[in-house]
Amino acid sequence: MTERAPIFIVGGGHNGLVCAAYLARAGRRVVVLEAAERAGGCAATHEFHSGFRVSSIAHLLYGLDMQVAGDLNLTQHGLAYAQQNLRSVALHTAADALVFDGDSASGAGLDAADRDAFQRFVAARRRFAAVLACWHAAPPPRLALSGWRDALPVAKLGWAVRRLGRKDMRELLRIATMSVDDWLNEYFTSARIKGALALDAVLGAWAGPRSGGTVFASLHRAAGGGAYSVPQGGMGSLSAALVRAATAAGAEIRCQARVAGFEVVAGRVSGVRLASGETLACSGVVSALDPQQTLLGLLGARHLEAEFARRVQHLRATGTAAKLHLALSRAPEFHGLKTQDLGERLLIAPDADYVERAFNPAKYGEYSPQPVMEIHLPSIHDASMAPAGQQVLSAVVQYAPHNLAAGWPAARSRFLETCLETLARHAPGLRASILHAELLTPADIAERVGITGGHWHHGELALDQYLMLRPVPGAAQYATPVAGLFLCSAGTHPGGGVLGTPGRLAAAQLLAREAAP
């Protein structure tokens, strides 16, 4: 008797590894197929200059699924934090920085009304984000409202809102589709607070603060608890812990095994074809690649019903976030920033209009002449990231649309210059200390990690691609229309941001389907 064919996980990103670990723990034979030399995907650490290491794409953790961390004993498998509960600091070229720590805001120019408003705002955001967190704990229901049995899980979603009480329920129904700019204007007069909070709502998005639905994006980000942390050794050590957890549970991880396509027999996926030409029989496939690549690239539209394929094709997934890495000979000095705050989460978003203006060019396929940034210096709290006395600066820079009209090869050096100029306005002496600069545009991210559009969340995190609409109706419960093929990437519910939840829920769905008669 031959052993039952394995379940293949395509792509060793964090969600793929989480899914593999859960399936292996349930006794399934699981093999992760990873195209790169090492598993990790967007949660990786690489050396970009001799002796300088940086988290390659995602650089902060803010919503890691605590159930995943606990179930998979990630601490035991080596996950440690260099720093937890980072404060957010809003930089300014002409004023002292503002510091946001939990629900308190402090800094030059803030009056009692602003501080009080900030407290009320954070409390309200927390209450509403808790509703989303509750929705994120389970797969989204389908909206086939033909009977009570179908309506029950939908009613459960509604109950999470109802439970807020009348006043908050009304408020959530009102703000859910609103632009974050409108929402912030109801709370604050301080332009700088609005700028920083507006940035939180648009990081990784093809949207500006005035775009409808950005309140939702802000709540989504807060649903993970709202605290930022950095793993010791960068995001790669999270992946390393996941690899150890998956392996310990019995999963096999095969690197440099690029999947080129799926074998489909009688509407069921029966095997995977590797780029090397090898074909492997399987009992199921869970893809951690983005939905478009999985369904249109590896599977092929010919196996899909036309309407479904059309929905997948129209998924909104244009990446706008670039990543900048600098090797610095010494610690930078930012204007108005206290030295002890250098290791916090530093934001360049002086006001909401600045953020909106940064978004404007993206609509026409151009990059921002004055970009917004989320900056972190991992080497401040983690000596393993840079040689002694030297520093690493890691920044998410927006907006740098994947579909740049001029083409990234032609524009790359100009955009890098734009980024450095923006940084130098805040840290005048920075340029002289740069030993090496690396810029990853969404096009680079698309190529390196293999994400369509270079979009971190594997598809825009917006209301039209949320819950039972993520990635598209018909695949929102992780199973695809092709039997045996499942999705588990950030492109599925509840979305992106290094959560691990899609991987966990996808594994549970696969096991539930197997168990069903």
Partner 1 sequence: MSSGANSNQRYDAIVIGAGHNGLTSAAFLARAGLKVLVLERNSYIGGAAVSRELHQGWIYSNCSYVCSLLRPEIYRALDLARHGLQIVPYGGGVTFTRDGDYLGGYVDKDVKRREIARHNAHDADAWQRYSRDTMRQCRFIRSLLLRTPPDPTSLKLRDLRELLYLGKRFADLGEQGIYDTIRFYTLSIADYLAEYYESDLVRANFSGSGIIGTALGVHSPGTAYVLLHHYMGDVDGQAGAWGYARGGMGAVSKALAGALQSFGGEIRCDAPVEKVLNRGRQVTGVVLASGEEILADRVLSNLDPKRTFLGLLDQKSLEPELVAKARNFKIRGSSGKLNIALDGLPEFPALGRNHPLHCGDLHFLDSMARFERAYDDWKDGRWSRDPYLDLLIPSMTDPTMTPAGKHYMSVFVQYVPPKVQGRDWTQADRDAFRDTVFDQIETQSPGFRKLVLHAEVRTPQELENEVGLTEGNIFQGELTVDQLFFNRPFPGFAQYRGPLRGLYLCGSATHPGGGVMAAPGANAAREVLLDLGRPEGVPEGWSDD
Residues that bind partner 1 (CB under 8 A): 142-146, 166, 169-171, 173-179, 182, 185-186, 207, 210-213, 307, 310, 314, 316, 356, 360, 363-364, 462-464, 468-469, 473
In angstroms, what is the minimal distance from the CB of 153 to partner 1?
A: 14
Q: Name the token pair of 245.
A: 């957890």
CA distances from 181 to 119, 123, 177, 195, 271 (A): 18, 18, 12, 9, 49
Residue 75 or 177 with smaller CB distance to partner 1 = 177
Q: Name the token pair of 58.
A: 């995602």
Residue 39 or 217 with smaller CB distance to partner 1 = 217
Residue 156 or 170 with smaller CB distance to partner 1 = 170
Residue 99 or 472 with smaller CB distance to partner 1 = 472
In angstroms, what is the minimal distance from the CB of 373 to partner 1?
A: 22
Residue 2 or 146 with smaller CB distance to partner 1 = 146
Residue of 142, 73, 20, 16 lying closest to 449 (CA atoms) = 16
d(CA 37, CA 50): 19
d(CA 359, CA 208): 5
CA atoms within 13 A of residue 117's CA, in its CB half-sphere: 17
In angstroms, what is the minimal distance from the CB of 409 to partner 1?
A: 23
In angstroms, what is the minimal distance from the CB of 187 to partner 1?
A: 10
Residue 98 or 479 with smaller CB distance to partner 1 = 479
In angstroms, what is the minimal distance from the CB of 313 to partner 1?
A: 9
Whether residue 291 contacts residue 489, with contact meaning beta carbons closer than 8 Å, is answered with: yes
In angstroms, what is the minimal distance from the CB of 212 to partner 1?
A: 4
Q: What angle, rounded to 10 degrees, do the helices at 148-162 and 166-175 form?
A: 100
d(CA 470, CA 480): 12
Whether residue 327 contacts residue 403, with contact meaning beta carbons closer than 8 Å, is answered with: no
In angstroms, what is the minimal distance from the CB of 183 to partner 1?
A: 9
Beta bridge partners of 486: 286, 479
Residue 157 or 280 with smaller CB distance to partner 1 = 157
State whether residue 62 is helix, strand or coil: coil
Residue 97 or 476 with smaller CB distance to partner 1 = 476
- Amino acid letter, residue 360: N
In angstroms, what is the minimal distance from the CB of 160 to partner 1?
A: 14
CA distances from 21 to 15, 459, 506 (A): 10, 24, 12
Residue found under tokens 């955001």? 125
